[in-house]
Amino acid sequence: MEFDPRDIQAFHFRSYDFDESSGTARFRYSFDGKFDFTEVVHFDSTPKTLGPEESAALDRCLKFLHVAAGVSYFKAAVPETIVLDSYELSPEAADFFQDLYVQGLGEFAFQNDLDLAGRIVFPSRAGVEDAPSQLALDRGHVVPIGGGKDSLLTIELMKTAGIPLRLITIGNFELNEGLAAQAGLPLLKIRRTISPLLLQINEQGAYNGHVPITAILSFIFAAAAVLYGFDTVVMSNERSSSVGNLVREDGFEVNHQYSKSLRFERRFREFLRDHLLQQLNYFSLLRPLSELDIAKRFAKLTQYHRQFTSCNGNFRIQGAPPARWCLDCPKCRFVFLSLAPFLSKAELRDVFGANLLDEPSQIRGFEQLCGVGNPKPFECVGEVEESLAAMILLSKKPEWREDSVVDHFAQKVLPGIESPASLVSEALTESTEHFVPSRYLEILHGHPAA
């Protein structure tokens, strides 16, 4: 059986529901009434019975989560017609989701050679009641955790500042349960199950590619705030995620990390305030920091070095994950490179099980991280300038400078850098563009919260 996206006329957002007894939400979608998808989000151990106001707030969260999560299914055909079968959107909410789909599918469109300009239009009607819930959420902080160094740094900064918190994860339970145990913190667990039909048509000719996953997770966190009781979500997205991978000929910036970017954070905070949960605070604590600065700080958190991973092989939908590090992808290379200036070679070998900087076969991959020849990889990696800064630091260290990758860089790339010292300094300088409240900003500088 073949699936031809060109045969699809319309994408339907059919319905959603929530079973409070099991903590299970179901979201239904369809192509032309012929291909029906159901996505399931299960909230483990929801602790309380919801009152009328909480139920109304949760319903609002699930409605908008229905729209956000639909991007995974819509992209399979990208039809020109979008139909909302069971609710309406205000023009302002429709504009938010239209922007999210266009920006969040930028990489997908580029790789599938699709033009989304004017193709994604969410229907709306003026006068639709779209005011946010005024529900007074229970006080509390959660830090979403995915297994990587960034969220672990956020956790330790918050702990050092004396702020009580819980962790929250969507999938990858075994990995994150171990990290939560190491942190000594409770873990809220949510499971998201993609419709099997989507995986099936992906093998039969459907369009496939990257979606704005952090945006989907952010809407899940909003629902979790009602179910589990917390009013602050502390993300761990750094300044580097706001920098795109390439600019198309029409001027559109393609950013693999759009839904981790400052632009999305701004728009989501506004959406919370104007349409969703007015009392929910959402910000990224690490936004002022570069990935290189985060790596410098994380290098001191040795208690996590044998457990964390950033390799995407551990987060695949199908198939068994590999070892913690595949050692042959942009994520593995970048994390290795960013940590190398701040750890000894023996320490880094202990983390990864190999020295990637002394393997000639890795030179081309590291060149791409440094902006040599090709655009920055479509992965969650730091800015080109950060990779260059890390190489500059390594080229000055006797322990590293003779390794094949570092030596190649010193011979072929370093001579073309006008001011290496300034580049390193700028890579480790905090950005002033962020939404971190002042009391939390002090945490980055080693001061306890007020």
pLDDT (tens, 9 = 90+) of the chain, 450 residues, equals 689 999 999 999 999 999 999 999 999 999 999 999 999 999 998 767 899 999 999 999 999 999 999 999 999 999 999 999 999 999 999 999 999 999 999 999 999 999 998 899 999 999 998 899 999 999 999 999 999 999 999 999 999 999 999 999 998 788 999 999 999 999 999 999 999 999 999 999 999 999 999 999 999 999 999 999 999 999 999 999 998 888 887 889 999 999 999 999 999 999 999 999 999 999 999 999 999 999 999 999 999 999 999 887 755 544 445 568 999 999 999 999 999 999 999 999 999 999 999 999 999 999 999 988 777 888 989 999 999 999 999 999 999 999 999 999 999 999 999 999 999 999 999 999 999 999 899 898 875 554
pLDDT of residue 314: 55
Q: What is the pLDDT of residue 47?
A: 65
The residue count for the chain: 450
| Cα 66 to Cα 13: distance, rounded to the nearest angstrom | 8
d(CA 417, CA 414): 5
Given a contact cutoff of 8 angstroms between Cβ atoms, the answer to whether 177 and 192 are in contact is no
Local structure of 232: helix, strand or coil: strand
| Amino acid 387: pLDDT | 96
Residues paired with 16 in a beta bridge: 27
Q: Which of 60, 68, 69, 58 is nearest to 87 (CA)?
A: 60
Report the alpha-carbon distance of residue 26 to residue 32 in Å, rounded: 19
209 touches 229 (CB < 8 A): no
How far is it, in rounded angstroms, from Cα 50 to Cα 43?
A: 14
Listed in sequence order, the residues at least 6 apart from 183 whose beta carbon sits closer than 8 Å to its beta carbon are 152, 155, 156, 159, 167
409 neighbors 366 (Cβ within 8 angstroms)? yes
Distance CA 367, CA 373 (A): 7
Give the span between the Cα atoms of 70 and 100, in whole angstroms: 11
Confidence (pLDDT) at 251? 81
Q: Residue 322's pLDDT is what?
A: 53
- Give the integer Cα–Cα distance in Å for 352 and 77: 39
Within a 10 A sphere around the Cβ of 225, how many other Cβ atoms? Answer: 29
Rounded distance, CA 394 to CA 398, Å? Answer: 8
Q: Which two tokens stand for residue 5?
A: 């996206």
* 112 and 294 Cβ atoms separated by less than 8 Å: no
Give CA 184 to chain center in angstroms.
Answer: 24
Integer Cα distance of 190 and 220 in angstroms = 9
Phi, psi of 101 (to 5 degrees): -65, -45
Question: Please, which contacts does 399-403 make with residues 24 or more away whose CB atoms are closer than 8 Å?
Answer: 399/344, 399/345, 400/340, 400/345, 400/357, 403/355, 403/357, 403/358
CA angle 372, 358, 416 (to 5 degrees): 30
What one-letter code names the amino acid at 162?
G
CA 302 to chain centre: 24
- As a whole number of angstroms, the distance between CA 24 and CA 26 comes to 7
Q: How far apart are CA 341 and CA 23, in angstroms?
A: 46
Element containing residue 422 per DSSP (H, E): helix 420-427
Nearest CA to 240 among 341, 115, 149, 340? 149
How far apart, in whole angstroms, are the C-alpha atoms of residue 352 and residue 325? 7
- The two structure tokens encoding residue 138: 């229970």
Is residue 11 within a helix (H) or strand (E), and if so which, with residue range? strand 10-19
Report phi then psi at 376, rounded to 5: -55, 135
Structure tokens belonging to residue 81: 């017609």
The reported pLDDT for the residue numbered 320 is: 47
Beta strands in 23-119 (DSSP E): 24-31, 35-43, 81-84
What end-to-end distance do the CA atoms of the chain give, in Å?
61
The residue extents of the domains of the chain are 5-284, 291-427
